């Protein structure tokens, strides 16, 4: 299983913002530069995170991005569920597009559903604060100085 870039970048944006002082706004440009990723793609990610209530965004002079709530209250399982377009591991997971002739006889699907649920249940145990616990090292890897975290 591989998460989409959208889910990956969503986690990266949240991690970056979690390293910043609570009310200090960041920009898409800053985040894109820190991770070496496309600003254009991040615009979509940031827009979605704002719609989902994970971040607050403001435009114009003095605008920017901040976490909408404390890092300890942002659950990673929730982030992945809401930013990953789907966990359709096999064709038969989607009845609208399923063409598999073995659908009634195959025993693989329930096991993959169980595995997917186990994966998400582990992520439900994590918060944004948990995955940014190594603040100093993480900030250094993103080019942030001690004064900026």
What per-residue confidence (pLDDT) applies to 2? 83
- Total of domains in the chain: 1
Q: Which residues pair with 54 in a beta bridge?
A: none
- Residue 74's nearest CA partner among 144, 128, 149 is 128
pLDDT above 70 coverage of the chain, percent: 97
Rounded to two decimals, what is the model's pTM? 0.89
Instruction: Say if residue 147's pLDDT is above 60.
Output: no
- Residue 25's nearest CA partner among 2, 55, 51 is 55
Range of the domain at 96: 5-148
User: What does the alpha-carbon distance between residue 31 and residue 9 come to, in Å, rounded to a whole number?
Assistant: 10
Cβ distance 42 to 9 under 8 Å? yes
Residue 8's pLDDT band, with cuts at 50, 70 and 90, is very high
Instruction: Say if residue 146's pLDDT is above 80.
Output: no
Say which CATH number the domain at 132 has.
1.10.10.10
């Amino acid at each position: 299983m591989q998460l989409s870039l959208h889910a990956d970048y969503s986690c990266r944006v949240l991690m970056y913002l979690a390293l910043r002082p609570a009310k200090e706004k960041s920009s898409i440009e800053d985040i894109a530069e820190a991770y070496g990723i496309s600003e254009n793609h991040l615009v979509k990610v940031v827009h979605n995170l704002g719609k989902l209530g994970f971040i607050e965004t403001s435009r114009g002079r003095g605008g920017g991005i901040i976490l909408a709530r404390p890092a300890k209250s942002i659950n990673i399982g929730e982030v992945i569920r809401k930013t990953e377009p789907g966990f359709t591991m096999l064709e038969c997971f989607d009845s609208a597009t399923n063409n598999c002739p073995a659908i009634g006889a195959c025993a693989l699907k329930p096991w993959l559903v169980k595995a997917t649920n186990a994966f998400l249940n582990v992520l439900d145990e994590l918060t944004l604060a948990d995955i940014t616990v190594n603040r100093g090292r993480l900030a250094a890897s993103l080019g942030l100085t001690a004064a900026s975290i």
